[in-house]
Amino acid sequence: MLRNPSQVWLFGTNKARRWLCTVMATESTPIMSGSRSRIRVTGSKESSTLYHKLTALDSSNGSVVQFLDDWVLKQRKFLHRYDILGFIDEFRKYKQFNHALQLLDWMEMRGMRLSFGEHAKRIDLLWRTGGIVAAEKYFTDLPIPAKNVFTYGTLLNCFCNEKMTEKAMALLEEMKKLKMELNSFLYSSLMVLHMKLGEPEKVQALAEDMKEKNIAPHIFTYNLLMSSYASLNDIEGVERVFKEVEGGSKVMPEWDFYCNLAGIYVGAGLFEKADS
């Protein structure tokens, strides 16, 4: 028996959400200083200095936006789009969500068009900082072209993490009507929902559905599937998933995957297997 069957891996980690909001490739468009059209690549030292200064700010009062305005408009320093996107990823990594959100706000204030992936990140950040209502409103107000699998999928993930089953299912049906292609991220979000609702058997049904539709799982999908078997005290099922990943799958196992497996073994009292 598992000592703590509820202690399973969920898709709600920061690393996993970063994966789901992968940014589409964008050009490295520099932000001009004032109205001049000079272009210069920001040196890594200057970029690093800016990042550390931003990190130290209290983001609750709009200080990130104010600091960037001062950096570009008053100090007349240069800042590139790829620097900002890198900062956003770092802030999300270290759970400085208000910092990351203000950077996206600033990009729009400066007339920079957000990619679909950046809109998706903003939905996720609004959910984290302002709640599901703020995230849903932002999605609703997006122009039609920006309502695609990236933004729909991110909002679906928010609903699933909030255990808002009706809204999640309604959004999924809307995606199907729009003929959006379902992917492993969407299935993983639904798996999160069922794990949170205490329905691990439905996770396995979703995994079977993915196989029937030839949707390749991501490593996070496999982690969720292992956790679903663990919550049912089915160690053999856990090991089948592990062997599939190690043997025939196209995904590369990461540290999280092995930690999840070790944690499952420890929870089941299988300490020798955990050590191996």
Per-residue model confidence (pLDDT) at position 276: 77
CB 224 within 8 A of CB 257: no
Burial class (CB in 10 A: 0-12, 13-18, 19+), 255: exposed
- Is pLDDT above 90 for 147? yes
**Same domain for 269 and 210:** yes
**Same domain for 186 and 169:** no
Per-residue model confidence (pLDDT) at position 44: 65
Q: Using the 3D structure, point to which of 173, 204, 223 is the last residue of a domain.
A: 173
**Same domain for 211 and 237:** yes
**Same domain for 139 and 269:** no
Per-residue model confidence (pLDDT) at position 74: 83
Task: Give 204's Cβ-side CA count (13 Å radius).
Answer: 16
- Is pLDDT above 70 for 49? yes
Specify the pTM.
0.80
Tokens of 200: 């691990």
Q: Using the 3D structure, point to which of 120, 151, 173 is the last residue of a domain.
A: 173
Q: Using the 3D structure, point to which of 128, 145, 173 is the last residue of a domain.
A: 173
**222: closest CA among 248, 171, 199?**
248
Sequence-ordered list of residues with C-beta below 8 angstroms from that of 129, at least 6 positions apart, any chain: 97, 98, 101
Average pLDDT, the chain: 84
**Same domain for 161 and 103:** yes
Residue 38, in any domain of the structure: no
Residue 249, in any domain of the structure: yes
Per-residue model confidence (pLDDT) at position 267: 93
The amino acid at residue 268 is A
Lowest-confidence region among 10-14, 51-55, 224-228: 10-14
Lowest-confidence region among 1-15, 139-153, 189-203, 219-233: 1-15
- Is pLDDT above 70 for 22? no
**Around Cβ 256, how many Cβ atoms within 10 Å?**
15
CB 214 within 8 A of CB 222: no
Residue 36, in any domain of the structure: no
**Same domain for 168 and 68:** yes
**Same domain for 164 and 69:** yes
